[in-house]
Structure 1
Amino acid sequence: MNITTTGGKNYSMVRKTLEKIQITGIKSEGAFYHKGKKEWISKVFGLYDGIIFRGEQLEDGSITETNLLYLSDIYLQSLNSRYIKPIDYTYWRSLKSKIASRLYEILGVKFYGIRNKKNCDIHFKYSTLCQLLPVKPYRYFSDAKRQLDSGNNELKDTGFISNFEWSENGKKEWLVYYWPGERAKKEMKNGQVKQLDFNEDKYLNGSDIPHEEFDIKKQTESDHENDLINKLLNLNVSKITAGRLVKKYNNKLIKDWVRAIDFTNAENKAAYILKAIKEDWQLPEEYLREKERNTAIKEQEKINSLQKEQQEKKNKKLQEEKQQLDRIYHSLDPDKQKEIDLEAENRLDDFWKVQLNKERSKGKFSKILQAALDEERREIIKEMDYS
């Protein structure tokens, strides 16, 4: 890092910086993807679980002879999954403007997120940029441009961005647009998810998968495997390669990539999907979010279906019980039926008793009144245990 090791000032600065990072919390609201759990997490966490400096005591009582840094599980998982955007440290140090160096860090990550999209830009509200840099926001548009354009122009002159534009957006909240330059594109190409070399025949003919290990003719392919193979064929993957791929690699991963390929900007989908599967690339974030939404919808549909099924069973049981009680009623002698009818009328609340007297004079009961009488009658039969 080109920091001198003489004197105690730099040691003290590094120590204080590490301590500040340890106590700084990160709050994720569905914005952090955990590859192990295969889900977007909402959690508050830190980057470091602990720091022990040289000369300090360990838990076992011994004294450490070196500096120890313990990464948090979430941060370590992220690094191991290569969810990282490398920084060109030499280029970063070459930037003269502090705003330019900070913008380089911010834009590098954002450009990385649109690496598979053509002619896309990244834009920020001026107030948001001020918080990220951080700098004091200006009240007037001309002052804001003068504040940031020294850094913007340095990034443009050095090729990290191809262009930038300001927009007053018809409001007081101004927008700043950025387009990736050749340097940014080169960094993305050399990052974790590399651009494909479409001349690599081994990714198209499966030459890196041993023939003796996967002889398609000697193996009976399941319907599931055949379905995956057909989907790969539709992406112009050769049949021999598709078969070997399905035999060697996780079928769930292949299925994911068959669906996720449309969320990329790959021109040669066959080469892209083969390399993505073989090198265990990160699935596109847009696909993962869409998959999560679809999973939530399906889960809700299952819950709704189960509730509907349970309600239908309950209704069926109630209907069968009503029919059984009605059969018992009609099997009784007329005197017993009259006794039950009279008791049913007496059990009606005052409102229905008034309705009963009104409708009785007309010689006919309404359906709703008859239903109320039937329910009271069934309750009486259940109490008398005629079943």
Structure 2
Amino acid sequence: MDNVRAAQNPRVKPHETEPQNSQQKFLASSNDFVHIEKNLASLGFFTPSTKKIKGSKKKTILFSKEVDGKKVELRAVILPSAEYGLPITADQDKFLALQKIIADIRYQKGMVNNPIGFTSAELLRILGLKVNAGKNYSDILEWAKRMTLTGISSEGVVYLAGKQVWASDTFHVFERFVSFGKEMPDGTIADKNYIWLSEWQLENINSNHLLPIDLETYKQLKNHISKALVPLLQIWLYATRAGGCFEKRYHDLCQILNIRQYPNLSRIKEKLAPSLEELKSYGYLANWKIEKTSSGANYKIALYHGEKFHRDQRRRLAQCGPGLEKKAPVETLQDNDHLISSEVHSSLLEEMVKRGVGEATAGDLLRNCTPGQPILDQLEWGDSLIRQAPRGKFYNPAGLYIHLVRENLILPESFESSQKRRLREALQQAREDEESHRLRLELAYSDYKKELIDRHIQRNFSKEHMRSWAQSKRLELLEQDKRLKDRWNEQTLQVLAENKVRSDIAKRLSIMTFPEFCKREQRKQQRAITDGGAVQSPTLLENSL
């Protein structure tokens, strides 16, 4: 419909065509991750709600950080427009879809400049929404106006990656919006929708001050609180990845999400449990708990890292190298402990150069890489794409490698890099070693019980007594089930009877459980290592048994 109206109006700007390069189209569509600017992800800019929030004068979020050893309180205030209200979950959906379009533009042109053009149908297709529903088009127009009119007042909270400073100022996300069919600044008629990103958004996007969001998984979520938490979890879980658990005061969480705070645990769970369980079902979380703080005066939420977090992190195992200064300072929500040795940096630089990437370009890519970015894996994926492609498809292989690293594209699950192969083989070997160790312990435990029972029988019962006892057990078995005589021969019945006798004897003895036996064997090995002696076989019993 947009194109038809454009054709009817001679003042409409020519429609921008899609990239003709098949390589570009494949790479753009294969990346299910979008990258959202970090400040918006951490500020709670989007409020979880299924309904429009009008009448709210502002939304205030408090933060604290250490400056020169002192704890300083900072704040961000979201200032809604009177007409359109606060940005909500549906606005976050569209904003993430827009990031997909922005990523394609950045791939084609190397960086993002204003204005950014897109059709409403393009945005709807990314979100999987109907392109023939008039209301969906109206919603997009309202979203763009809300994003343009909503302000952010920052008191040292918004970080400007290009200038490397914390800003105290008032901003907008979109500086301007012109919808399809309206007049552009140069007097022409817009052939599609156009937005002008604010200067700080452009600066941070082009400086890679971004967080990855799995858009395909995100779109499957149903609860609005779940969706609001996804960008926040990227920050919180990464910062606490070593401990495996992130804790947030319930009061602070309510402030960020702009939801009602309840005093009773039952009401808190009633409000949060559906969303936390949904995040758990998709692997974002392994588990969650709501419990009292150490003072007992308030509640806190404990979030445990899920398999999806670990799976996504494993895709970024190759480190980007420093000695290179990252553009975000230590106080940002980005964790900076990923910096590695200059030796690894030199190795990655060499890998890029030998694939045809210029040394200066390679150095720039390394300076702007994302924490934990799997650069070597991405280069190897590029090798695989070129190897499998028809001759001449990738006329500029170096450009492919640059794109893979610059956009930090997520590798398909099916691709096995050399790093992933080494990890898989090491994990497989570890599992085999663990299973072998457990089997040895189980055999040793069986020998331990047998020897203990044998020793007790030898000391306390004659052979004649044992034969008589076994015969008694045989008769008991036949009395319980007369069909046993027809099913089993005499030899099998005799073995069963003797085992019953040994089972009765075992009940009278003080026999370690299997976990107790394992702990004993572990202590024996530790003592042997400490004493510098040989580790005894688990089958040998200590004299005390």
The two structures have a TM-score, normalised by structure 2, of: 0.37
2:162 counterpart of 1:40? no
In 2, the alpha carbon distance for the partners of 1:269 and 1:120 equals 29
In 1, the alpha carbon distance for the partners of 2:193 and 2:202 equals 18
The match for 1:271 among 309, 334, 344 is: 344
In structure 2, relative to structure 1, the CA distance for the partners of 1:197 and 1:79 (3 Å cut) is closer
In 2, the alpha carbon distance for the partners of 1:172 and 1:108 equals 29
Partner in structure 1 of residue 367 of structure 2: 280
1:196–1:272 contact (8 Å) kept in structure 2: no
Which residue identity is paired with 2:276? N
In structure 2, relative to structure 1, the CA distance for the partners of 1:256 and 1:108 (3 Å cut) is closer
In 2, the alpha carbon distance for the partners of 1:181 and 1:274 equals 32
2:177–2:196 contact (8 Å) kept in structure 1: yes
In structure 2, relative to structure 1, the CA distance for the partners of 1:272 and 1:173 (3 Å cut) is farther
The more displaced of 118-127 and 61-70 is 118-127
Q: How many residues are aligned here? A: 224
Which residue identity is paired with 1:264? D
> What displacement does 1:80 show?
1.1
In 2, the alpha carbon distance for the partners of 1:17 and 1:56 equals 17
Which residue identity is paired with 1:152? L
In 1, the alpha carbon distance for the partners of 2:137 and 2:185 equals 24
In 2, the alpha carbon distance for the partners of 1:12 and 1:157 equals 33
2:319–2:339 contact (8 Å) kept in structure 1: no
Higher relative contact order (CA 8 A, sep 6+): 2
Q: 1:187-245: CA deviations, max 9, x gaps?
A: 3455xxx33179xxxx8xxxxxxxxxxxxxxxxxxxxxxxxxxxxxxxxxxxxxxxxxx
> What displacement does 1:100 show?
2.3
In structure 2, relative to structure 1, the CA distance for the partners of 1:157 and 1:255 (3 Å cut) is closer
In 2, the alpha carbon distance for the partners of 1:151 and 1:138 equals 16
For 1:289-300, what aligned pairs fall within 5 Å after superposition?
A: none
2:216 counterpart of 1:90? yes
Partner in structure 2 of residue 161 of structure 1: 285
2:152–2:170 contact (8 Å) kept in structure 1: yes
1:92–1:101 contact (8 Å) kept in structure 2: yes
Partner in structure 1 of residue 266 of structure 2: 142
Q: 1:7-49: CA deviations, max 9, x gaps?
A: 3211111111111111111233323332321222222211111
> What displacement does 1:273 show?
8.2
For 1:1-387, what aligned pairs fall within 5 Å after superposition?
A: 1-112=127-238, 114=239, 118-169=242-293, 170-188=295-313, 190=315, 194-196=316-318, 254=323, 256=325, 264=337, 270-271=343-344, 279-281=366-368
In structure 2, relative to structure 1, the CA distance for the partners of 1:58 and 1:281 (3 Å cut) is closer
In 2, the alpha carbon distance for the partners of 1:65 and 1:155 equals 40
Partner in structure 2 of residue 339 of structure 1: none
In structure 2, relative to structure 1, the CA distance for the partners of 1:35 and 1:133 (3 Å cut) is closer
The two structures have a TM-score, normalised by structure 1, of: 0.51
Which residue identity is paired with 2:344? A
Query: Which SS does the other structure have where 1:86 is aligned?
Result: strand
In structure 2, relative to structure 1, the CA distance for the partners of 1:135 and 1:263 (3 Å cut) is closer
In structure 2, relative to structure 1, the CA distance for the partners of 1:281 and 1:275 (3 Å cut) is farther
Q: 1:64-123: CA deviations, max 9, x gaps?
A: 2211111111001111112222222221122233332322232123334x17x5115332
1:196–1:271 contact (8 Å) kept in structure 2: no
Q: 1:254-296: CA deviations, max 9, x gaps?
A: 4747x99x95156877426865966113698xxxxxxxxxxxx
In structure 2, relative to structure 1, the CA distance for the partners of 1:104 and 1:38 (3 Å cut) is closer
Q: CA RMSD in A?
A: 3.3
In 1, the alpha carbon distance for the partners of 2:347 and 2:161 equals 20
Query: Which SS does the other structure have where 2:211 is aligned?
Result: coil
For structure 2, list consecutive stretches of 5 or more residues without a partner in the other structure.
1-126, 350-362, 372-545
In structure 2, relative to structure 1, the CA distance for the partners of 1:263 and 1:72 (3 Å cut) is closer
Query: Which SS does the other structure have where 1:279 is aligned?
Result: helix
In structure 2, relative to structure 1, the CA distance for the partners of 1:48 and 1:91 (3 Å cut) is same
In 1, the alpha carbon distance for the partners of 2:184 and 2:222 equals 42
The structure in which a higher percent of residues are helix is: 1
Which residue identity is paired with 2:163? K
Q: 1:326-368: CA deviations, max 9, x gaps?
A: xxxxxxxxxxxxxxxxxxxxxxxxxxxxxxxxxxxxxxxxxxx
In 2, the alpha carbon distance for the partners of 1:256 and 1:99 equals 36
In 2, the alpha carbon distance for the partners of 1:263 and 1:87 equals 19
Q: Could you say which structure has the larger radius of gyration?
A: 1
In structure 2, relative to structure 1, the CA distance for the partners of 1:37 and 1:263 (3 Å cut) is closer
Partner in structure 2 of residue 369 of structure 1: none
> What displacement does 1:5 show?
1.6
2:173–2:198 contact (8 Å) kept in structure 1: yes
In structure 2, relative to structure 1, the CA distance for the partners of 1:283 and 1:3 (3 Å cut) is closer
Partner in structure 2 of residue 244 of structure 1: none
In 1, the alpha carbon distance for the partners of 2:208 and 2:303 equals 26
* Identity across the alignment (%): 24
Q: 1:125-154: CA deviations, max 9, x gaps?
A: 212322333432222112112321222122
In 2, the alpha carbon distance for the partners of 1:138 and 1:130 equals 9
In 2, the alpha carbon distance for the partners of 1:20 and 1:13 equals 10
Query: Which SS does the other structure have where 2:146 is aligned?
Result: helix
1:118–1:265 contact (8 Å) kept in structure 2: no
Which residue identity is paired with 1:99? I
Query: Which SS does the other structure have where 2:128 is aligned?
Result: coil
Which residue identity is paired with 2:155? E
In structure 2, relative to structure 1, the CA distance for the partners of 1:62 and 1:268 (3 Å cut) is closer
In 2, the alpha carbon distance for the partners of 1:167 and 1:17 equals 37
Which residue identity is paired with 1:166? I
